[in-house]
């Protein structure tokens, strides 16, 4: 008899299964069922690993807020990372998941702050009204009013404001003064003083008396707490908007896949249970579940989520398909090659998240300034308290206390701390929607500085996929027959040039013969027997080895090479019968992209491993004056280093493994999203569409983002430079103006909201 657990759960992966599963195995008198043949094979290799008795029953654990393996990160200090929830030891902010879950509930910190804010807002309003007009209407004895205000303000300060005091204390323990240090000191001082004045008024000198009682400032502490809570609620809501780009990317992936079992039956499985090598069926209208290759069928797949192009791409057997793209018409069967975090979509999500959480060089400078700033503000607050207490009008020490609290509150560096992270988060999200992925904040800052762009040719300027150009026949021969013979011979070759020739012949409806014998020369061409004739197809070296004269078509061959094509000679029975030209077409978007970049003041250099003649031909067609051909990876790296030593700020754009060293060395490496994973991992910017026009978009976004960060930093510094003297009472001798701590708290919240609002303006940035 089988146990209920083993009949309903795959013992290897934990997936729910039924007794109808086609994958089952007996072990020690028990039948185990599996979701796939792979799980069954793992079980058969080591049954003991999966048949250990379960541990003793444990009480149920509380639900966790995020999936296992979640990395929690500080929004303001992305270097702070841990595997469990908590607060940042530097700034006290609640850590949040680096990758937001698509189905995650509303931010728990936002819910908590909303509850504290709305729960105590009525109490704050009552305390404020009593403090402002209670003495005029004489609703009660003023000493009794102090006790009423104490009762009402206590839950506001001690419950609603508890997170702020906790963060302030952590800033002291961790020796990292921040905004919470100032808020905790300011509100704490006002509240403790007011409690003492209410409970023991007799210990205060007569100068502290006002309107029949020792002056209290419960309303200042209460209103500051409520306004700070309001500011945090607004900030958290704004921060949630920056994760919309990641959530929209996560929403592209389907939830399930239809897997084909070994016996031909099919089942729907969760995407997490798809393994490499699984055969998956994709019906019309369904999304491709993971990255892989088509093994059966044909269809048109909408890849606009990656390329932005609305026209579906035709897919046949052997073509690659990418997860989250949409199958529009026919049915496909694919073999999965990349699953989970290895898929293109998952890598894009990771890159966006990493860029959003990275810290810009400008932010690192702001952090250093903010640390000294808090210490300076505390010193100024103490000086304000002493100056008013010694030299101010009566009640001098009351004025000193209130103005010192105002200095602490208005100087809160929250606006300074948010100035650059908000701009970076908005910019990276916007870039992702436009097909530009920034790896980090430094890339956004540096991209606007580049003055020279080194570009690889194949796959960057060109399509990266050879295409048949033309066939040229020798005198007395037919060009179509030249193509048919070459394609028939090339059927046995896996070379990209051979594939282009065979594909062109089939597209023209030519009937190809099967060669009787096929032999591939090492990099110089192929030979074979076809219908009793001996054929040879290759370069001039192969022709020389076979004693075939290329003189009849030498002029035509040179002209084709000057156009940037690769030329092959076809000989039949020792006689040259024609030439075949294969080219790598220039991308349709390349001329426009280069013109835009040149207009922006960039110097364009092409460096390619192709022959110099071909490179110069492509460079001439595109108006590139500086061309380097036949360069190796180390040569590209040396070129970047040489230009950097000359004082140039260099960007390198490429798509291949051979470009990786130069991409990593450049001030800004730009990878084509259609290229290799190594190139993308080496670069700081990825153009998802593989279109150089994206570089112009990225550069414009870089300029707008840096300008936005500077505006935010300037606003934050000016705000404090103007606010602190007013709060300290510098203008009082001349104008009689004093800044209430409540007004200071309102201004502090407004400054943060202004910085956030200015950063969100980037979303309206237009493409160049």
By annotation, the residues acting in catalysis are 456
For residues 15-26, one letter each, b for 16 or more C-beta atoms within 10 angstroms of the residue's C-beta and e for the rest, the string is bebeeebebbee
Distances 311 to 305, 307, 464, 567, 729 between C-alpha atoms, Å: 12, 10, 20, 33, 66
Instruction: Give me the numbers of helices (H) and strands (E) for the chain, helices first please.
Output: 27, 29
Distances 557 to 405, 420, 483, 484, 593 between C-alpha atoms, Å: 85, 58, 16, 19, 31
Show the 3-state SS of 405-437: HHHHHHCCCHHHHHHHHHHHHHHHHHHHHCCEE
Question: What residues have CB less than 8 Å from 161, skipping those under 6 apart?
Answer: 187, 221, 225, 228, 229
Structural contact between residues 176 and 373, judged by C-beta atoms closer than 8 angstroms: no
Structural contact between residues 476 and 575, judged by C-beta atoms closer than 8 angstroms: no
Question: What residues have CB less than 8 Å from 320, skipping those under 6 apart?
Answer: 291, 292, 293, 294
How far is 488 from 478, CA to CA, in rounded Å?
15
% helix / strand / coil in the chain, to the nearest 5? 50, 15, 30
How far is 202 from 739, CA to CA, in rounded Å?
28
Widest Cα–Cα separation across the chain: 122
Query: First vs last Cα of the chain: how many Å apart?
Result: 70
Name the strands in the sheet holding 452-455, side by side, starting at the edge strand that comes first in the sequence.
436-438, 685-687, 668-672, 650-654, 452-455, 603-607, 626-628
In terms of Cα–Cα distance, which of 219, 221, 214 is closest to 199? Answer: 214
How far is 119 from 160, CA to CA, in rounded Å?
8
Strand, coil or helix: 295: strand
Structural contact between residues 387 and 399, judged by C-beta atoms closer than 8 angstroms: no
In terms of Cα–Cα distance, which of 478, 470, 474 is closest to 575? Answer: 474
Tokens of 243: 């994760």
């Amino acid at each position: 008899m089988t146990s209920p657990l083993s009949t309903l759960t795959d013992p290897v992966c934990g997936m729910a299964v039924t007794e109808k599963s086609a994958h089952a195995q007996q072990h020690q008198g028990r039948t185990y069922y599996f979701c796939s043949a792979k799980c069954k094979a793992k079980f058969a290799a080591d049954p003991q690993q999966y048949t250990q008795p379960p541990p003793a029953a444990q009480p149920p654990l509380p639900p966790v807020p995020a999936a296992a393996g979640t990395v929690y990160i500080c929004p303001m200090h992305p270097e702070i990372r841990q595997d469990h929830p908590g607060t940042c030891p530097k700034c006290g902010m609640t850590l949040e998941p680096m990758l937001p879950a698509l189905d995650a509930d509303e931010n728990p910190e936002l819910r908590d702050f909303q509850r504290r804010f709305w729960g105590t807002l009525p109490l704050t309003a009552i305390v404020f009204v009593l403090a402002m007009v209670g003495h005029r209407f004489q609703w009660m004895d003023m000493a009794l009013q102090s006790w009423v205000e104490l009762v009402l303000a206590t839950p506001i300060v001690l419950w609603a404001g508890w997170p702020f005091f906790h963060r302030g204390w952590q800033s002291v323990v961790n020796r990292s003064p921040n905004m919470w240090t100032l808020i905790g000191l300011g509100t704490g001082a006002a509240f403790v003083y007011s409690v003492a004045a209410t409970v023991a008024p007799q210990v205060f000198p007569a100068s502290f008396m006002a309107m029949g009682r020792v002056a209290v400032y419960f309303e200042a502490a209460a209103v500051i707490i409520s306004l700070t809570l309001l500011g945090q609620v607004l900030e958290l809501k704004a921060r949630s908007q920056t994760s919309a780009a990641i959530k929209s990317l996560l929403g592209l992936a389907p939830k399930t896949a239809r897997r084909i079992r070994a016996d031909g039956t099919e089942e729907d499985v969760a995407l997490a249970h798809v393994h490499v090598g699984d055969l998956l069926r994709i019906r019309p209208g369904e999304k491709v579940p993971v990255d892989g290759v088509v093994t059966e069928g044909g269809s048109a797949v909408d890849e606009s989520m990656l390329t932005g192009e609305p026209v579906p791409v035709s897919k046949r057997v052997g073509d690659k398909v990418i997860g989250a793209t949409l199958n529009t018409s026919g049915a496909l069967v694919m073999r999965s090659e990349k699953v989970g975090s290895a898929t293109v979509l998952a890598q894009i999500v990771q890159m966006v998240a990493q860029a959003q959480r990275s810290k810009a060089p400008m932010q690192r400078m702001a952090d250093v300034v903010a640390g000294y700033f808090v210490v300076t503000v505390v010193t100024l607050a103490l000086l304000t308290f002493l100056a008013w207490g010694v030299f101010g009008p009566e009640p001098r020490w009351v004025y000193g206390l209130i103005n010192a609290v105002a200095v602490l509150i208005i100087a809160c560096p929250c606006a300074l701390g948010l100035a650059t992270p908000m701009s970076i988060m908005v910019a990276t999200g916007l870039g992702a929607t436009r097909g530009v992925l920034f790896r980090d904040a430094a890339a956004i800052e540096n991209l606007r500085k580049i003055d020279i762009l080194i570009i690889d040719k194949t796959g960057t300027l060109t399509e990266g996929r050879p295409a048949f150009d033309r066939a040229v026949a020798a005198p007395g021969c037919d060009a179509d027959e030249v193509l048919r013979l070459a394609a028939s011979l090339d059927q046995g070759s896996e070379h990209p040039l051979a594939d282009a020739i065979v594909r062109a012949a089939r597209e023209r409806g030519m009937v190809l013969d099967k060669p009787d014998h096929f032999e591939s020369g090492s990099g110089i061409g192929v030979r074979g027997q076809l219908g009793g004739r001996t054929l040879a197809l290759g370069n001039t070296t192969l022709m020389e080895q076979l004693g075939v004269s290329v003189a009849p078509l030498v002029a035509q061959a040179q002209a084709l090479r000057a156009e940037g094509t690769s030329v092959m000679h076809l000989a039949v029975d020792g006689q040259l019968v024609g030439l075949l030209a294969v080219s790598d077409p220039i991308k349709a978007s390349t001329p426009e992209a280069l013109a835009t970049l040149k207009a922006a003041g960039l110097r364009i250099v092409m460096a390619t491993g192709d022959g110099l003649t071909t490179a110069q031909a492509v460079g001439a067609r595109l108006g590139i004056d500086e061309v380097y051909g036949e360069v190796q990876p180390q040569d590209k790296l040396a070129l970047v280093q040489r230009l950097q030593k000359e004082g140039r700020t260099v960007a390198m754009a490429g798509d291949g493994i051979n470009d990786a060293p130069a991409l990593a060395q450049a001030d800004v490496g730009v990878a084509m999203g259609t290229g290799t994973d190594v190139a993308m991992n080496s670069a700081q910017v990825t153009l998802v569409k593989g279109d150089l026009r994206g570089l112009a978009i990225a550069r414009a976004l870089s300029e707008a983002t840096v300008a936005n960060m500077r505006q935010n930093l300037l606003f934050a510094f000016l705000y404090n430079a103007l606010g602190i003297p007013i709060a300290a009472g510098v203008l009082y001798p001349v104008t009689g103006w004093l800044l209430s701590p409540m007004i200071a708290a309102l201004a502090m919240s407004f400054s943060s909201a202004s910085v956030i609002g200015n950063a969100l303006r980037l979303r309206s940035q237009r493409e160049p």
